[in-house]
Amino acid sequence: MQKCGQIPDIITYASLIDGLCCNGCLSEALQLFYKMENVGLKANVVIYNIIIDNMCKEGKLNEAMELFRSLSTKDLQLETRTYNIMINGFCHEGMLSDAESLFTEMEEKGFPLDSWTYNIMVQGFLMKKDTCKAVEFLKVMDKRGFSGDAKTASMVVDFLLQNESNHESIGILREFFLKWEMKLTFP
């Protein structure tokens, strides 16, 4: 491209970085990211989201969090999606207190919590078999008009089939599942 006199723009770099990340080439994506900065192009929040997401997926949560925290110094506005990416990363690594801290920070800073935010938290607590916390998030989620997504519903079903220890939580989980099933069946 450059040999033909074409200079890559931010969209080209974003596409290449995303493609590299999707193919498991995070280190090459980071090299391209730094090259982009060296030629004077400023990364936008979309590019940071791609990199942070893939760092989280590779278990590099410290590096992802460092990059996440650096966004405010780069005159870039964090987004709900950026928070969700970090919360998801923490939940997948079982770091639920860190996920909860970011969730609380998000609320305190006035970022809109969305369906994905709540589903991530519920899934994280279900993965750790903390039904009380999962139910707590489900109740708030429901009160705010959000429903579980397919993965959350699947996890609730799996949990219901495997566990009979906390009857109160089981009943509440059944209630949410039935409510979601009605929404899926009768729009």
CATH number assigned to the domain comprising residue 157: 1.25.40
In a domain? residue 165: yes
In a domain? residue 159: yes
Does residue 121 carry a pLDDT above 50? yes
In a domain? residue 136: yes
pTM of the complete model: 0.85
144 CB-near residues (< 8 Å, 6+ apart): 113, 118
Question: Chain-wide mean pLDDT for the chain?
Answer: 86
Average pLDDT over residues 28-56: 94
In a domain? residue 179: yes
In a domain? residue 34: no
In a domain? residue 139: yes
Q: Find the angle CA(26)-CA(32)-CA(34) to the nearest 5 degrees.
A: 105
Average pLDDT over residues 118-146: 90
Spatial distance between the Cα atoms of 106 and 87, rounded to a whole number of angstroms: 10
- Eight-state DSSP code of residue 128: T
In a domain? residue 64: no
Spatial distance between the Cα atoms of 145 and 110, rounded to a whole number of angstroms: 18
Number of domains making up the chain: 1
* Residue bearing the bigger pLDDT, 74 or 158: 74
Spatial distance between the Cα atoms of 101 and 133, rounded to a whole number of angstroms: 14
In a domain? residue 60: no
pLDDT classification of 7: cutoffs 50, 70, 90 = confident
The token pair at 101 is 């801290």
Does residue 179 carry a pLDDT above 70? no
The range of the structural domain enclosing residue 113 comes to 79-185
